[in-house]
Amino acid sequence: MSATLPPLPSARSLAAALQRRELSCRDLMQTCLARIERFNPQVNALVSLQAPEEMLRQADACDAQRARGDAVGRLHGFPMAPKDFVATAGLPTTMGSPVFARQVTPHDAIMVERLRRAGALFVGRSNTPEFGLGSHTYNTVFGTTRNAWNLDHAAGGSSGGAAVALALHMLPVADGSDMMGSLRNPAAWNHVYGLRPSLGRVPTGPGPELFFQQLGCEGPMGRTPEDVAWLLSVQAGYDARSPLSLAGDGEAFAQPLDAELRGQRIAWLGDLGGHLPMDPGVMALCESALRHFDTLGCSVAPAVPAFDFNALWTAWLRLRGFIVAGALRGLHADPATRAQLKPEACWEIEQGERLSAAALHEAAVTRTQWHAALLQLFERFDFLVLPAAQVFPLPADVHWPREVGGRAMNTYHRWMEVTIGPSLAGLPAMAIPAGFSQAEGTRGLPMGLQLIGRPGADLDVLRMAHGWHQAVPFANVQPPLLQQ
């Protein structure tokens, strides 16, 4: 049996050790490469991996920069693997699609540009489902990413590769993106943290369309809230090339997260008054976890917004279908490329192409009404909480569940309906660990909660998550695979 590899320290601790030269960039790179070699063949989290010799050469160059006294960034020498969905110059950007299996983009996305400028070294890409569609990371280019806690189960998605790489300490921090829980679902399913930031907190682009696309965003993932904040401090900040980006920079996120949390009011949204079906054990586990807010001096009370949730789902289908069809309809129109698309992608494109202007306007009005309903709820509460997923991690060979809690799923993604509320409202929402399933068939698999803050309150969400991390007894439990 191979020797057990010790866990990686926190990102903030690593940065401090590198700054004091108690640790070299080469040492850190060798540590991460050893973990990648040990675990990645089993889980398939990272793809398009670069040659170890080249990565060590880059790490040595980082050490030389520091030795010369050059100014270095917050991620100097950090091994990272940008999600295989975001443009990264010099590395394949396949988006999990055979259509783009050999694509190498000539430029970085703004977020990747910031990672590179901060000193990150890209060892490869993190795996994603085709075009990021679906909460299960599988594709025909690289295959299936498996759960860090049980190799027979799914990693979640679409940032599944990133979450698994974090859970198995292959990387210090990881980026992801989120439209329908793609940062939150895999974080919850792998017992790590993932923040969907406020709309515009992390600038998107460059790209052909930067105004209508108001559902998806990029964000940070980490093993602790402090790690998430450390990465967000690099990702966040206004960029004129991203017209919807928020003013300011990310410096506030690099500061300590300790804060007084007593008296904070938590609204437990649960299953939205029975609207959302849940797998056996999900609600019980999540409700049991709520007691840890008491430890922090917070109050928790049930609350459900007065809203037509079927209308909200219809609005989601229309707005998402509009975005997906707009981006992919050219591939669908060409029979040669349409034949390479997965059925779920074809279905969503076809749904989007049938939409009328009136239907889209009605969806936008519903979205606006939903935002107003949440603002009313925030008059009584400081945070909203509900499960991060409606099911425990799926078997790896099941693409999506046809039934949840005894109810048929009429689309390939309705089983993640629990995530659409923050996405539609543009609110900061963070997946925080809730513990592990005790239900038959899913015992030992992780689940999480969504911690949702007021508009623009990303820092408040991170501070509450930091308190949570210190309060819960299961925060530092590690996957059994790490002990093998």
Domains present along the chain, CATH in parentheses: 11-303+380-483 (3.90.1300.10)
Tell me the chain's radius of gyration from C-alpha atoms.
Answer: 21
Write the pLDDT tens digit of every residue in 41-61: 999 999 999 999 999 999 999
- The tokens for 221 are 């993932």
What is residue 145's predicted lDDT score, i.e. its pLDDT? Answer: 99
Distance, CA of 19 to CA of 403 (rounded, Å): 51
Q: Closest by alpha carbon to 378, among 455, 432, 450, 463?
A: 455
Q: Please give the average per-residue pLDDT across 295-302, as a whole number.
A: 99
What is residue 5's predicted lDDT score, i.e. its pLDDT? Answer: 79
Computed over every residue of the chain, the mean pLDDT equals 98
Q: How would you classify the pairing of strands 125-126 and 217-222?
A: unpaired
Distance, CA of 477 to CA of 371 (rounded, Å): 36
Report helix, strand or coil for 353. helix
User: How open is the CA angle 374-378-379, to the nearest 5 degrees?
Assistant: 120
Residue 4 has pLDDT above 80, yes or no: no
C-alpha torsion sign, points 270, 360, 183, 383: negative
Residue 2 binned pLDDT confidence (cut-offs 50, 70, 90): low
What is residue 350's predicted lDDT score, i.e. its pLDDT? Answer: 98
Longest CA pairwise span in the chain (Å): 64
Tokens 């790489």, residue located: 165
What is residue 1's predicted lDDT score, i.e. its pLDDT? Answer: 45
Are the C-beta atoms of 148 and 190 separated by less than 8 Å? yes
What is residue 9's predicted lDDT score, i.e. its pLDDT? Answer: 96
Write the pLDDT tens digit of every residue in 162-193: 999 999 999 999 999 999 999 999 999 999 99
Residue 6 binned pLDDT confidence (cut-offs 50, 70, 90): confident
Q: Please give the average per-residue pLDDT across 61-82, as a whole number.
A: 98
Tokens 């408040």, residue located: 460
Residue 270 has pLDDT above 70, yes or no: yes
Write the pLDDT tens digit of every residue in 420-430: 999 999 999 99
Are the C-beta atoms of 441 and 208 separated by less than 8 Å? no
Are the C-beta atoms of 276 and 307 separated by less than 8 Å? no
Residue 224 binned pLDDT confidence (cut-offs 50, 70, 90): very high
Write the pLDDT tens digit of every residue in 308-335: 999 999 999 999 999 999 999 999 999 9
Residue 212 has pLDDT above 90, yes or no: no
Write the pLDDT tens digit of every residue in 328-348: 999 999 999 999 999 999 999
Write the pLDDT tens digit of every residue in 109-148: 999 999 999 999 999 999 999 999 999 999 999 999 999 9
- The tokens for 69 are 């006294």
Q: Please give the average per-residue pLDDT across 263-279, as a whole number.
A: 99
Residue 294: left (phi > 0), alpha (psi -120 to 50), or beta?
alpha
Residue 213 has pLDDT above 80, yes or no: no
Residue 102 binned pLDDT confidence (cut-offs 50, 70, 90): very high
- The tokens for 339 are 């034949």
Q: Closest by alpha carbon to 14, among 124, 148, 173?
A: 173
Taking each continuous run of H as one helix and of E as one strand, the counts in the chain are: 15, 14
Collect all residues with Cβ–Cβ distance below 8 Å to 311 and sequence separation of at least 6: 366
Q: Comparing 175 with 483, which gets the higher pLDDT?
A: 175
